[in-house]
Structure 1
Amino acid sequence: MELSTFNRVFSLVSLCLLVMLHFTLNLASDSSDEANALVKWKDSLWNNDQSFLPSWNLYPVNSTQLSACTWAGISCDHAGRVESIILTNTSLKGTLDEFSFSLFPHLLYLDLSMNQLFGSLPPQIGNFSNLTRLDLSNNQLSGNIPPEIGLLTHLEILHLSFNQLNGSVPEEVGQLSSLKELVLYHNNLGGLIPSSLGNLSNLARLSLSSNSLSGSIPREIGNSSQLHVLDLSSNHLAGKIPTELGKLVSMNNLVLNGNQFSGGIPQELGLLIELEYLDLSANRLKKSIPKDLGYMLKLHYLNLSNNQLNEEIPDQLAKLFQLSALDLSHNLLKGEILSQICRLENLENLNLSYNNLSGSIPSCFEGMKGLSFVDISYNELQGPIPDSRAFRYAPVEALEGNRGLCGAASSLRLPCKTFTSHKQIFKGWQLVFTVVFPLLGALTLLIVVLIIYQRRKKRNNESNLISCLSGKRRNHENMGEFWMSTVSNIGEKATYKEIMRATENFDPKYCIGRGGYGSVYIAKLEEGHVVAVKKFDIHSLHPSEMANQNHLLKEVKALTELHHRNIVKYFGFCLHAQHSFLIYDYLENGSLNKVLGCEVEAKKLDWNMRIGILRGVAHALSYLHHDCFPPIVHRDISSKNVLLDSDYEAHVSDFGVAKVLQPGATNWTVVLGTCGYTAPELAYTMKVTLECDVYSFGVLALEIIKGEHPGDMILSLSSSLNRMKEKRRLRDIVDQRLPFPDPEIQAPIIKILNLASACLDANPQLRPTMDMICKEL
């Protein structure tokens, strides 16, 4: 090789080495700068405890090796540069003023939610040019949202809810072309909603509720074609609801309640055929209810209460077969209650109170077995009260204010009177003497025969039919009594004999699970319905505990009054000396415990499905704790009592030990529930609280992520998140049977682990509520 050629090659190699060395030194320098900046920010915080973020230190001092990649809450890319800072619920106290935003150009995720950060949001936040997720919710931040937020053009998720931010929503938010979620609820934001939000073509969720926003929803929002959730509730918005909202054909939830909207409900809302939840209550809406709302065939919640709507209830609402809650109260509606409303087989809650409705209540209400709550107070209704469960158990407040009503309910006894003339009275008595008296003897004999026949019939358990819930508590001390009931139409013709036939007298081969109080069997009825039958073991309880049938009745009572998509559906029950059982909806995939215990089945539950299951359980518990009055504590939340349907959606089951928290009562109890999920304070306080369920939920959350019961891991989590992160990296915690989660999935998983840590706090008062957990999930 010629010397000149050799020199050229040597020079080229030397140049490459110099470039690589320079690049390596730059990476080392970048890593050191990031580590130093994080420690500087840590030192500026008000946490003086030596145990606070102990892994965040500058030792060893060799700057060429210094890196934050192994620190708690920090994740790095392949080049060793910080790309994720997730410190949810770590008790951070202080401001963001000392945070060196410019030193983290590769940061993708910043999650400091559920802490105690205060002060303003610095404008330097705009230096995070590659940031895709920013979550500072549940802190004490104040001041304005800086307009520099608009520089975060890669941002997909912006959560600043539950703070004290004021000022207006900056127009620059409309520059966030990648934004999918904008969540700013529960702040002090005022001014107008910026019209620039219409530029966000990828926006799927917009939540600005519980602020002080004023002015007409901007019509430009109709351009956000991917919007699924729009929540502007509890503000001071006025004007008309823009017809352009009808362009948001992907919308699932539209929540505009608690504002000052006027005019009519635009008929264009009927174009939102994917809508499931619509709340326009507590506004100043007038005119009639649009017939076009009848096109929302997926709607399950409709609330138009506390407005000034008039005219009659349109019969098109009877097309909303998925509707479970309908509230038209506190309006000026007139006319009669539609008989077509009885077609709404899924309707559970109906409120028509404080209107000008007249006429009689349709008798077809007696066939609406799923209806559990009804309020028709303060109308001009008359005639008999339907003999249905909802009316029978309605409080007096739900019926009062209607002078013409008559009949019997649990809180109302008004005989239905018939006025007759003197001639009619004479003819009536003449009929009594000439016809009735001669038949009285024969009738009496017939009644005696029937009584004897019925008593014999009760002893023959194979001839008893499942009948409608009568609401009359029988004497269950006599175990010879037999009682079957239903709140759904699947069992109208199903007999005890059929249940026994379908299970071959509860043959073990039909057993699909066992619990603390009995076994569960699968039964295929003659009409094609497949149900689960929970047969109670009469010997399952200790003699000192309540009688077994009382536990059964407790679960029945709980189930008949609970209606939620994430709570198992109940069909009927039987109480008998030989066999006592409940009939549930059969859920194809069985219990979560069974699925997680089988490697093949567990692999089917990917990370998104597991997060969805946890959300379902959270919503069910939030319903029990915050939407039921008095609140209900389940007391036995575990993977065995979470059932999965064909779509792997979660349904909470087994209310045998549920307890209603009566106001003013001490609510003491013996320790019940599944070992390994029970809150530790029950062992020494013996007092049932909502926090007991929260603790169990925390254990379940860990089990879903880990793929098995967390065991001793509970002890390390219940003390502090930082200790957990030092001892156990995410890779060691997650279910090893699944692929390690991608970065976009890691953030919600870490949030779940942080929530679980908070749920397992030794101090029950420091645990989050299920309502808070639902908002975070």
Structure 2
Amino acid sequence: MTSLTSAQLCFLPYCLVILLYVSSPNWVAFPAATSTSHTEAKALLKWKASLFLNQALNNLTWYDPPTHHIHATNSSSTNRKPRTSPCTWTGVSCNSAGSVSKLNLSTCGIQGTLHEFSFLSFPNLEYLNLSLNKLFDAIPPQISYLSKLHHLDLSYNQFSGRIPPEIGLLRNLRFLRLSKNTLLGEIPKEIGNLKSLVNLRLSYNNLSGLIPPNIGNLINLNTLYLGKNQLFGLIPKEIGNLKSIVDLQLSFNNLSGLIPPNIGNLIKLNTLYLGTNQLSGLIPKEIGNLKSLVDLELSENNLSGLIPPNICNLINLNTLYLHTNQLSGLIPKEIGNLKSLVDLELSENNLSGLIPPNIGNLTNLNTLYLDSNQLSGLIPKEIGNLKSLVDLYLSVNQLNNSIPASFANLSNLEILFLRDNQLSGSIPQELENLKNLTFLVLDTNQLSGYLPPNICQGGKLTNFSVHTNYLTGPIPKCLKNCKGLFRVRLEQNQLRSNISEDFGVYPNLDFMDISHNNLYGEISHNWGQCPKLTALRMARNNLTGSIPPEIGNATQIHELDLSSNHLVGLIPIGFGRLTFLERLKLNRNQLSGRIPLEFGSLIDLDYLDLSTNRFSDSIPSILCDLHKLYHLNLSNNKLSQAIPLQLGK
């Protein structure tokens, strides 16, 4: 056996001490980190204790840390508490030294404030995500103690007060997300010091004042969301320095002045949202330089002048919103180059001239809004090439001639608005092929001929409006089984049909107007089985028979107009159940009997016209109790006795 030297014997105790350290179950490699870990654990528990007690808080598996005894004996281990280093706690991660580096409690449902959060106790925290909780009150200025922080997300909470200027001391910050709170005041200019910032989101708050010009210092920024605030003043020209920016959203503020031309320098820009502000002047032609642009939203401003043709160079454009401005001139024919376009909205401007036929090249188009302009001429048949189209709005223009039969190719079309133009000719029967159609609105034109007999062939039609045209012939029989109808307007035409069996029972019907036609027959009892009906207008037709008592079951009715027909008999006493009724017009018929006492239940009635009938007996005094009544016409009847004195009060 080899003998030990004296030097080796002297070294042996040190080896034993090291061995005890390593074999100890509570051994921590770095004593300094142990101290930090204890401090961090206590700080987290103190903050937890300040939060509102709820189930979410109970789900946080944070426990008191055990006391560490370096020279623990084997016998003591039988009673030892489980190890609860904060590194194992819910949402907590540590670095290699055992110090908290990441705290992610997003969507945990915790409720409370940050007042008891000891920021100073977390010298190594790099990532803090408390988003999607119910935290409220101010963001403490002490947040600046988190000097190593590179990710801060407090979005989707209820934080209030100002953004602390001290946040500008977090020089390592790359992600700052404070959206969806109720923060107010100005954006602190100190944010311009965060040169490492890549992602800045302050949208959906109550921030006011100017956008600080030194935001242009954030040259690494690729995302800037300031939308849905109350910011005002100019868009600073320094924003043109953000050469790395990909996503810029300033919509829904009160920004004014011109769009800075040097926004054309932002050649990496993918999304540009400046809508719903008070921006004025021309759309800068430099926007045509943004070749990477996918979404361009400049709507709801005061922009004027022409649509710059070079905007049509943006061949990656998916969305183009220029609606609700004061743009004038022609729709540039180059718009047909935007083959990637899915959503094109130019409505509510002063655009004139023809719709360019090569708009039919936009075969990916899902939505086309050109309504409320001064467009004229024909609707180009090439629109029939837009097989992906779902919404088509061409209303309130000066378009003329016929509706193209090629519209029958739009098999995905759900909404078709052509109202308030100068369209003529018949409604193409080919529209029956549009099986997905829910809205068909063709009113206020000069259309003639018959309605397509199978217009509700797909069974999805909810809104059908063809009023104020020169349509003739019968009401399509298919409407009887079109159960999804919500709003129907056929008035002011020359339709001629026996309506006794034309209409069915509609669970969702809200509004029906067939007045001012040549319709005849009796009023169907089915109207009483339409539980959501609020308006029924059948005036100025040739309807006969009595008023069906079942109408008294349509208790949601606010307006009932059966005037100027040939109705006979009594007013059903069931009308007393129509307690939401505001306007009742039964004038110019041949109704008889007494005015029902049940009218006393119609407490919301403000307009009552029973004139030019054959009512007899006295004027019921209960009419005096209808305090909202401002129009009452009982003339040209056979009423006896005096007018009740209270009626004039």
Note whether the superposition's TM-score is higher than 0.5. yes
Deviates more, 1:164-173 or 1:409-418: 409-418
1:385-404 paired onto structure 2 within 5 Å: 385-387=403-405, 388-389=407-408, 398-404=417-423
Would the alpha carbon gap of residues 187 and 412 (structure 1) be closer, same or farther in structure 2, given more than 3 Å must change?
Answer: closer
Q: 1:407 aligns with which of 420, 426, 430?
A: 426
Is 1:376 the equivalent of 2:394? yes
Q: Secondary structure at the match of 1:408?
A: coil
* Structure 1 residue 305 displacement after superposition: 0.4
Would the alpha carbon gap of residues 405 and 234 (structure 1) be closer, same or farther in structure 2, given more than 3 Å must change?
Answer: farther
Q: Secondary structure at the match of 2:327?
A: coil
* Structure 1 residue 58 displacement after superposition: 1.3
* Structure 1 residue 60 displacement after superposition: 2.1
Q: 1:33 aligns with which of 39, 44, 51?
A: 39
* Structure 1 residue 474 displacement after superposition: 8.9
Q: 1:43 aligns with which of 39, 42, 49?
A: 49
* Structure 1 residue 347 displacement after superposition: 1.5
Aligned residues with identical type, % of pairs: 42
Would the alpha carbon gap of residues 398 and 416 (structure 1) be closer, same or farther in structure 2, given more than 3 Å must change?
Answer: closer
1:56 match: 62
CA distance in structure 1 between the aligned counterparts of 2:144 and 2:263, rounded to whole angstroms: 31
Kept in 1: contact 2:119–2:145 (CA 8 A):
yes
Letter in 1 for 2:344: L
Letter in 1 for 2:422: R
* Structure 1 residue 366 displacement after superposition: 2.4
1:433-582 paired onto structure 2 within 5 Å: 473=457
1:747-758 paired onto structure 2 within 5 Å: none
Would the alpha carbon gap of residues 63 and 268 (structure 1) be closer, same or farther in structure 2, given more than 3 Å must change?
Answer: farther
Kept in 1: contact 2:139–2:164 (CA 8 A):
yes
* Structure 1 residue 397 displacement after superposition: 7.8
Is 1:174 the equivalent of 2:192? yes
Would the alpha carbon gap of residues 385 and 73 (structure 1) be closer, same or farther in structure 2, given more than 3 Å must change?
Answer: same
Kept in 2: contact 1:294–1:317 (CA 8 A):
yes
Letter in 1 for 2:324: N
1:364 match: 382
* Structure 1 residue 54 displacement after superposition: 5.0
1:244-259 paired onto structure 2 within 5 Å: 244-259=262-277
CA distance in structure 2 between the aligned counterparts of 1:337 and 1:122, rounded to whole angstroms: 57
Kept in 2: contact 1:371–1:390 (CA 8 A):
no
Q: Secondary structure at the match of 1:370?
A: coil
Letter in 1 for 2:210: L
* Structure 1 residue 177 displacement after superposition: 1.3
Bigger proportion of residues as helix: 1
1:690-701 paired onto structure 2 within 5 Å: none
CA distance in structure 2 between the aligned counterparts of 1:244 and 1:139, rounded to whole angstroms: 35
2:129 match: 111
CA distance in structure 2 between the aligned counterparts of 1:63 and 1:331, rounded to whole angstroms: 78
CA distance in structure 2 between the aligned counterparts of 1:318 and 1:174, rounded to whole angstroms: 41
2:103 match: 85
Would the alpha carbon gap of residues 252 and 405 (structure 1) be closer, same or farther in structure 2, given more than 3 Å must change?
Answer: farther
Letter in 2 for 1:39: L
CA distance in structure 2 between the aligned counterparts of 1:416 and 1:89, rounded to whole angstroms: 57
Q: 1:309 aligns with which of 319, 327, 330?
A: 327
Kept in 1: contact 2:388–2:412 (CA 8 A):
no
2:581 match: none
Letter in 2 for 1:370: S
Would the alpha carbon gap of residues 50 and 371 (structure 1) be closer, same or farther in structure 2, given more than 3 Å must change?
Answer: closer
CA distance in structure 1 between the aligned counterparts of 2:181 and 2:193, rounded to whole angstroms: 23
CA distance in structure 2 between the aligned counterparts of 1:335 and 1:189, rounded to whole angstroms: 42
CA distance in structure 1 between the aligned counterparts of 2:216 and 2:367, rounded to whole angstroms: 36
Kept in 2: contact 1:408–1:415 (CA 8 A):
no
Kept in 1: contact 2:390–2:415 (CA 8 A):
no
Q: Secondary structure at the match of 2:86?
A: coil
1:153 match: 171
Letter in 2 for 1:57: Y
2:212 match: 194
* Structure 1 residue 95 displacement after superposition: 0.9
2:501 match: none
* Structure 1 residue 398 displacement after superposition: 1.6
* Structure 1 residue 44 displacement after superposition: 1.3
Q: 2:152 aligns with which of 116, 119, 134?
A: 134
Kept in 1: contact 2:403–2:423 (CA 8 A):
no
* Structure 1 residue 292 displacement after superposition: 1.1
**RCO higher in structure (CA 8 A, sep ≥6):** 1
* Structure 1 residue 416 displacement after superposition: 6.7
* Structure 1 residue 390 displacement after superposition: 7.7
Letter in 2 for 1:137: S
* Structure 1 residue 412 displacement after superposition: 4.0
Q: 2:309 aligns with which of 288, 291, 295?
A: 291
Kept in 2: contact 1:393–1:411 (CA 8 A):
no
Normalised by the size of structure 2, how large is the TM-score? 0.60
* Runs (5+) with no aligned partner, structure 2: 1-6, 71-82, 429-439, 460-530, 534-649
* Structure 1 residue 213 displacement after superposition: 0.4
Q: Secondary structure at the match of 2:30?
A: helix
* Structure 1 residue 415 displacement after superposition: 7.7
Would the alpha carbon gap of residues 411 and 35 (structure 1) be closer, same or farther in structure 2, given more than 3 Å must change?
Answer: closer
Would the alpha carbon gap of residues 134 and 360 (structure 1) be closer, same or farther in structure 2, given more than 3 Å must change?
Answer: same
Letter in 2 for 1:122: P
Kept in 2: contact 1:313–1:337 (CA 8 A):
yes
Query: Number of matched residues?
Result: 429
1:753 match: none
CA distance in structure 2 between the aligned counterparts of 1:223 and 1:29, rounded to whole angstroms: 45
Kept in 1: contact 2:391–2:415 (CA 8 A):
no
Kept in 2: contact 1:45–1:95 (CA 8 A):
yes
Q: Secondary structure at the match of 1:309?
A: strand
Q: 1:319 aligns with which of 324, 337, 361?
A: 337
Bigger proportion of residues as strand: 2
CA distance in structure 2 between the aligned counterparts of 1:203 and 1:152, rounded to whole angstroms: 15
CA distance in structure 2 between the aligned counterparts of 1:74 and 1:310, rounded to whole angstroms: 58
CA distance in structure 1 between the aligned counterparts of 2:29 and 2:189, rounded to whole angstroms: 40
Q: 1:276 aligns with which of 289, 294, 307?
A: 294
Q: Secondary structure at the match of 1:333?
A: strand
Kept in 1: contact 2:390–2:414 (CA 8 A):
no
Q: 1:265 aligns with which of 275, 283, 287?
A: 283
CA distance in structure 1 between the aligned counterparts of 2:166 and 2:345, rounded to whole angstroms: 43
Kept in 1: contact 2:197–2:218 (CA 8 A):
yes
Kept in 1: contact 2:345–2:368 (CA 8 A):
yes
CA distance in structure 2 between the aligned counterparts of 1:229 and 1:371, rounded to whole angstroms: 27
Kept in 1: contact 2:263–2:286 (CA 8 A):
yes
1:221 match: 239
CA distance in structure 1 between the aligned counterparts of 2:280 and 2:108, rounded to whole angstroms: 45
Deviates more, 1:405-414 or 1:273-282: 405-414
Would the alpha carbon gap of residues 124 and 347 (structure 1) be closer, same or farther in structure 2, given more than 3 Å must change?
Answer: same
Q: Which protein is bigger by CA-based radius of gyration? A: 2
Would the alpha carbon gap of residues 77 and 348 (structure 1) be closer, same or farther in structure 2, given more than 3 Å must change?
Answer: same
CA distances 1:706-751 after superposition (whole Å, capped 9, x unpaired): xxxxxxxxxxxxxxxxxxxxxxxxxxxxxxxxxxxxxxxxxxxxxx
Would the alpha carbon gap of residues 404 and 47 (structure 1) be closer, same or farther in structure 2, given more than 3 Å must change?
Answer: same
* Structure 1 residue 74 displacement after superposition: 0.5
Would the alpha carbon gap of residues 235 and 392 (structure 1) be closer, same or farther in structure 2, given more than 3 Å must change?
Answer: same
Normalised by the size of structure 1, how large is the TM-score? 0.51
Kept in 2: contact 1:385–1:391 (CA 8 A):
no
Q: Root-mean-square deviation (CA), in Å?
A: 3.9
1:24 match: 30
